[in-house]
């Protein structure tokens, strides 16, 4: 019997679930415990098929719009946040709703409201069509915010009043790309107000720093996450920026073995919405073909946890 080739596996830490994702999933679980199935969830609670399927199996029904929720059923809003019109509609219909918006996304929402109240026009750095962006735009009157996705957009911007601008960002952007966009905005509009704190969240920054640290010594990097998960896609880009081949896979069965051709040292991480179980599944899968020498590279330790909404804490 021939011996299996050796594969050195560097696993980034922190990786996987962040405090906002943890909280959102817990809210759906506790809502099912409290109200019984079914509990409706507006949009994927977090962008991960495995998580969504597990919650479906426990009695969650995922819909895209409130109009799909019956009058007598409880509904949870996803971690990405929703426009103000969504809770307003839910209240108007007397729906029992729970808001699983990540507190760090809510913080950006409140900043947007304050800036508009202070008379600023907001330049929002983010990805068009992402639910977080739709939710944040929905906190302020139409026309109060302009989206820029990249440096090109920032260069092309022609605001009506260039002296009255402020910027905010999506929480799950690339730290490096965003810094470039911000530099462009500050060069073009020197009086633009910056957010009080960093809008890119701790989990996004930490996971990017961790993948950067392992990419430097790896031949290739695998990221476990969904293609619609912004922070997961950013992790692939961060690794690629380091000059490393990188790929996003949803779970072990998606792995194309040819990706590992010529790879002696593989880096592995997971997006903020990907459960650790999927990391372990991939390690086991790799072990079917390789003798895996696994080690973890920890760049920082996270201890953040968010409170559950009122009414659910006691059920925890």
Nearest CB to ligand SF4, comparing residues 111 and 184: 111
Positions touching ligand SF4 (CB under 6 A) are 18-21, 79, 102, 104-105, 171-172, 201, 203-204, 231, 272
Residues assigned a catalytic role: 132
Nearest CB to ligand SF4, comparing residues 184 and 273: 273
Q: Of 24, 46, 239, nearest to 131 (Cα)?
A: 46
Per the document, the length of the chain is 316
> In the bound complex, what is the minimum distance in angstroms from residue 24's beta carbon to ligand SF4?
7
Rounded Cα–Cα distance for residues 181 and 176 (Å): 9
Q: Are 282 and 268 in contact (CB under 8 A)?
A: yes
Helix (H, G, I), strand (E, B) or coil at 293: strand
Cβ contacts of 215 within 8 Å, gap of 6 or more: 221, 238, 239, 242, 244, 246, 267
Q: What are 222's strand-pairing partners?
A: 247, 268
> In the bound complex, what is the minimum distance in angstroms from residue 201's beta carbon to ligand SF4?
3
> In the bound complex, what is the minimum distance in angstroms from residue 182's beta carbon to ligand SF4?
18
Nearest CB to ligand SF4, comparing residues 25 and 140: 25
Cβ contacts of 144 within 8 Å, gap of 6 or more: 116, 121, 122
Nearest CB to ligand SF4, comparing residues 18 and 192: 18
> In the bound complex, what is the minimum distance in angstroms from residue 79's beta carbon to ligand SF4?
5
Nearest CB to ligand SF4, comparing residues 204 and 269: 204
Helix (H, G, I), strand (E, B) or coil at 125: strand
> In the bound complex, what is the minimum distance in angstroms from residue 227's beta carbon to ligand SF4?
16
Rounded Cα–Cα distance for residues 47 and 79 (Å): 9
């Amino acid at each position: 019997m021939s011996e299996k080739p050796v594969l050195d596996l560097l696993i980034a830490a922190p990786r996987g679930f962040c405090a906002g994702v943890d909280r959102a999933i817990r809210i759906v679980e506790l809502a099912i415990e409290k109200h019984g199935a079914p509990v409706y969830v507006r949009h994927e609670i977090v962008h991960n098929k495995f998580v969504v399927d597990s919650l479906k199996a426990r009695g969650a029904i995922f819909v895209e719009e409130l109009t799909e929720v019956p009058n007598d059923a409880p509904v949870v809003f996803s971690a990405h946040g929703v426009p103000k019109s969504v809770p307003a509609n839910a209240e108007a219909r007397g729906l029992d709703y729970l808001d699983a918006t990540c507190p760090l996304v809510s913080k950006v929402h409140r900043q947007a409201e304050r800036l508009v109240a202070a008379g600023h026009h907001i330049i929002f750095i983010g990805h068009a069509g992402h639910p977080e962006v739709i939710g944040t735009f929905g906190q302020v009157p139409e026309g109060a915010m302009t989206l820029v996705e990249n440096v090109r957009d920032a260069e092309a911007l022609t605001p009506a009043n260039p002296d009255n601008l402020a910027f905010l960002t999506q929480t799950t952007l690339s730290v490096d790309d965003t810094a470039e966009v911000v530099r462009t905005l500050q060069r073009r509009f020197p009086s633009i107000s910056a957010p009080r704190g960093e809008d890119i969240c701790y989990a996004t920054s930490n996971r990017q720093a961790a993948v950067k640290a392992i990419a430097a010594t790896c031949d290739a990097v695998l990221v476990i996450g969904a293609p619609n998960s912004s922070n997961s896609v950013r992790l692939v880009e961060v690794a690629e920026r380091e000059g490393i081949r990188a790929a996003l896979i949803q779970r072990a069965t998606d792995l194309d073995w040819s990706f590992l051709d010529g790879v002696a040292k593989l880096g592995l991480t997971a997006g903020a919405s990907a459960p650790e179980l999927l990391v372990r599944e991939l390690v086991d899968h790799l072990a079917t073909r390789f003798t895996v020498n696994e080690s973890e590279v920890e760049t920082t330790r996270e201890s953040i946890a968010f409170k559950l909404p009122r009414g659910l804490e006691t059920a925890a």
